[in-house]
Each structure stands twice: as C-alpha cells, then as structure tokens.
Amino acid sequence: MLRQILVLIRVRSCLAGAAVSIVGSRIVSGGSLGLEEIAASFSVAFAIAFAQTYNDVVDRFLDEVDKPWRPLPSGRMSLLAARRVGAVAAALSLSTALTVSLGLALFCLVVLLLSWAYSMYWKGTVLLGNLVVAVLASTAVPYGALASGGALSLQLLAVQATVFTVVLAHEVVKTIRDADGDALAGLSTLATRAGVSVAARVAVGLIGISVLVCVTPALNAPRPSLYLAVALAGIVVPSLLAACLLATRVQRAQDVAKPFALLRLAWGGMVLALLML
C-alpha cells in the first residue's frame, strides 16, 4: 500500500516542491534554515500530495484510457483509500503551516482551494488550467520566503518566474501527450482544441521564454557562475533539445514522449540549479 501511496501522490513532485520552498527561504534568510523553514517545506510537499491525489480521484475514469497503470484505474487502490490519503495530506499541510504562522496557514488554505478548483473546474479550459498549475507550482517560492519572515524581492521574483515558465512549458507539452484521452473525455485543452501541431508550436515558444528567464536568478546570486553552469546543463540543454523535437517531429500525441521526458529532466535540473543559489 505504501508504494501505491507514493505513486498516487507523485512523491518526486512533492520533494521538488519542498526543495523550491527551501530556495525561497534561503534567499530571505541568507542561507540558514530553522524549524519554520523546514515546516514550510513539509507543508508544500503535503499540499502537492493533496493536489495530485485529488486530481487522480477526479480523473480516475479518464486515466483508464491514458494511464491505466495508475493506482486507481489499475484497481491497486480503492477510491475510498485515495480520498483518505488526500484528506490526510491536506490536514498535514494546513497543520504544519499553522506551526509557522497564521499567515502561512491562510496562504496554504488558498493554495489547497485553488488546487481543488483546478481539478474540478479548470483542467479543461485550454490554457487557463496550465496557467493555474504553473502559478501553484511557483507559489512554493514566496511560501518559503514567508516562512522566513521576508517579503518578495527581485531575486525571489526571478526564481518564481523561472519555476513558472519551466512548469508552464511542461504543462502544455503534457496536454499533447494526453490529447487522445482528453478528447475522448471532452476536455478542452490546447491540444484538443487547436490541434497537436499548434500546441507544439506554442510549447516551443514557451520553452524559449523559459530558457531566457532561467538566466535571471543569476543576476543577484552570490554564486552566479555555479548557478549558470548547473542551469545550462540541467535546464537549457534539455529544454532546447525538447524544443527541436517539438518543432520537427511532433505530429501526433504519441510523438511527444521524448520531448516530454526531456522537459521532465529540465524540471529536475531547475530544482538542482536553484538550490545552488
């Protein structure tokens, strides 16, 4: 059961979100981490666990077409068990945020509500759903900053913009990957509404923006050379390779497997690079 829970909550995404929260905290605190910052990172991880779990609950019939190996459509986890996992994750996210401050708990509540609204109402809204996911992912940066008692700065905004643009490009490519199942379910995504080729061109443009934006955190970084070296290898190279494939070889949903894998690699490279700040 534990293995299925880890698959359900997408534990790697939870850990990545926690790491991004720590980046926000470190920028404000100058590198030191206390119990408040650690608690905030756990709160982010639990919030992501809730969002992923609830999304799978809502998409359980759609996943029978696109992702039959997932815990719910495969029958390895019951719907009741998944709902309980989501409820526990939401409660843990709120409670750990409350140990830091009431303000962080309110922030957490807004994030949880937006995550719920995305799965319920905004998933099939062409680009709006993709924008919501990118915004939610990037809020881990100010979330960590708030735990350290700091306000937004140009450096925090640069980091948040990097997360936002990388995730947005990733989400648009995901709509291409899921186009067949989304079309059967009647969801209006960029790929189902405008077609795979148009979605691929939009993704190429977004990747180009993310490559440019990912340089900006180095402008005020104490170790810009280290950040840029990791960003080049971890973000820029896989992103540009994905863009080349999207521009030349993607005509069907099945063609997007390699670009999607490269953008997942860029997402991990982005987290690593940001930790170098």
Q: What is the pTM of this model?
A: 0.93
Which two tokens mark 103?
A: 């303000």
Residue showing tokens 């709120």: 94
Question: Using an 8 Å Cβ cutoff, are 179 and 191 in contact?
Answer: yes
Question: CA–CA separation, 111 vs 135, rounded Å?
Answer: 10
Question: Using an 8 Å Cβ cutoff, are 217 and 277 in contact?
Answer: yes
- The predicted pLDDT at position 152 comes to 77
Going by C-alpha positions, the residue among 57, 63, 267, 269 that lies closest to residue 177 is 63
- Distance of alpha carbon 215 from the chain centroid: 19
Alpha helices by DSSP H, listed for 127-256, are 127-138, 140-147, 154-177, 179-185, 190-194, 196-213, 224-231, 237-249
| CB-based contacts of 276, cutoff 8 Å, min separation 6 | 223, 226, 227, 230
- The predicted pLDDT at position 186 comes to 79
Question: Which residue type does 98 have?
Answer: L
DSSP type of residue 112 = H
225, with CB counted inside 10 A (0-12, 13-18, 19+), is: exposed
Question: Which residue type does 124 have?
Answer: G
- The proportion of the chain whose per-residue pLDDT surpasses 90, expressed as a percent, equals 72
The chain-wide mean pLDDT, for the chain, equals 92
- The predicted pLDDT at position 180 comes to 81
Residue showing tokens 């409670």: 95
- The predicted pLDDT at position 142 comes to 96
Which two tokens mark 41?
A: 């990172």
Sign of the Cα pseudo-torsion (115, 140, 14, 274, in order): positive
The angle, 0 to 180 degrees and rounded to 10, between the axes of the packed helices 11-29 and 2-9 is 60
- The predicted pLDDT at position 261 comes to 95
Instruction: Name the stretches of the chain with pLDDT < 70.
Output: none
